[in-house]
Structure 1
């Protein structure tokens, strides 16, 4: 049986590869254009998330292997992320902005919710490719949460709500949905941590054999002489 995904998930899936392939620097250049549109506290949070991504995930690490190959370790986005907050306070809105910018700079398309989400989307949408950020009404929230292709949910809520949502996601079929929780709406201790960005990415490893033809065979032959 073919499962029809919500249209927002379909749109996000279509733009994901192109958005992710821009790299941190390419996404930074587009997102930086939006920063002046945000109030000061929200802007500082957005700037911090972008700068942190440059520090934590922008570089590809190259490691030489034992037989001469180069192993390249980098990151990529996970896919469509739902970003929302159960708290309407100003501090929580700063956190919501942090969630959105962390998800976007990591290479993921984002879906926001309700009026707060719409305000954030409106500031960003004109500077990024169409479909990279979308908004839904709260009445459509359940259909997005239940979508098989939803890669993750970043939410600002209390522990009780987080537990209920975690159990709901665990019961889903399809793609494993990453749950990224912030439960400190005033201090935003999770969202403001350097490792927060790592919840929005997966690792990608590429091994490149750079030895000459027969190089590995020569190493094996040398090893056999010790027997």
Structure 2
């Protein structure tokens, strides 16, 4: 058991490291990789990939300038929250699972993909890495490990598609765990996907940060301060 826990810790640590590089690519580059992948997919699944990317580019990708004193530039921008567990009840549609995955990825998060069809999960991982997704950003994990991942203090959130009982169980697990508060993004209708199909679904996978640049520092050197709300 202890050996297994250490292995999961290594997976999460590697995901954290990969997330940093993936997040630095920016929304446009991440979306380009995902949209390229969509060209290989069936029409209904490709439409979900396109939908999630378009919403992220429209609602969270743009940097906003905020007022500040003379000689100071203040910027508000969005980035990923960290490592997300993406999981689903057995039998959920591929459209729903891909919608969860793409929303998390395009916003700059790393993903621990934990679904019943492990072969399908591995196929998705390989396809995306071949198209430029950074190695380690998607990690396929056995569905039996989902509880250990959810309760781990380093995971930033859980995207779940399934029934009400499953969502309630995940909510209880997240509420009882140690560490920072984690986000539960639950979809209870795997066919109509009203949550995943919302234009603002991507907002559940980002955190806002502010960046202040002072261009009046002594000697003309700029000092940089960044504040995040998801750390």
Q: TM-score by structure 1 length?
A: 0.84
Task: Say which SS state the counterpart of residue 207 (structure 2) adopts.
Answer: strand
If asked which structure has higher relative contact order (CA below 8 Å, sep 6+), I would say: 1
Query: Alpha-carbon deviation of 1:147?
Result: 1.7
Corresponding residue of 1:157: 162
The structure 2 residue matched to 1:16, chosen from 16, 19, 25, is 19
Q: Secondary structure at the match of 1:153?
A: strand
Greater Cα shift, 198-207 or 59-68 = 59-68
Does the CA contact (< 8 Å) of 2:19 and 2:110 recur in 1?
Answer: yes
Q: Which residue pairs with 1:126 in the alignment?
A: 130
In 2, the alpha carbon distance for the partners of 1:81 and 1:47 equals 21
In the TM superposition, what are the counterparts of 1:44-83 in structure 2 within 5 Å? Answer: 44-65=47-68, 69-83=72-86
Residue-by-residue CA offset, 1:83-137 (whole Å, 9 max, x unaligned): 1111514xx3201100000000000011112324334333323221110111112
> How far apart, in 1, do the equivalents of 2:153 and 2:202 lie?
23
| Whole-angstrom distance in 1 between the partners of 2:166 and 2:203 | 23
Structure 2 unmatched runs, 5+ = 219-231
Equivalent in 133, 136, 149 of residue 144 of structure 1: 149
Q: Deviations over 1:174-194 (max 9, x none)?
A: 232211011122211111112
- Separation in 2, partners of 1:204, 1:152: 18
Stretches of structure 1 lacking an aligned partner (at least 5 in a row): 214-227
Among 38, 41, 47, the residue aligned to 1:38:
41
**2:34 touches 2:49 (CA, 8 Å); kept in 1?**
no
Equivalent residue number for residue 216 of structure 1: none
Question: For the residues of structure 2 that align with 1:211 and 1:11, how far apart are their CA atoms?
Answer: 39
Match of 1:85 in 2: 88
Measure the CA separation in 2 of the matches of 1:212 and 1:94.
51
| Counterpart position of 1:203 | 208
* Aligned residue pair count: 209
Judge conservation of contact 1:97–1:120 (CA < 8 Å) in 2.
no
- The aligned residue for residue 175 of structure 2 is 170
The structure that has the greater radius of gyration is: 1
Residues 104 and 202 in structure 2, CA contact (< 8 A), matched pair in contact too: yes
Contact 1:87 1:185 in 2 (8 A): no
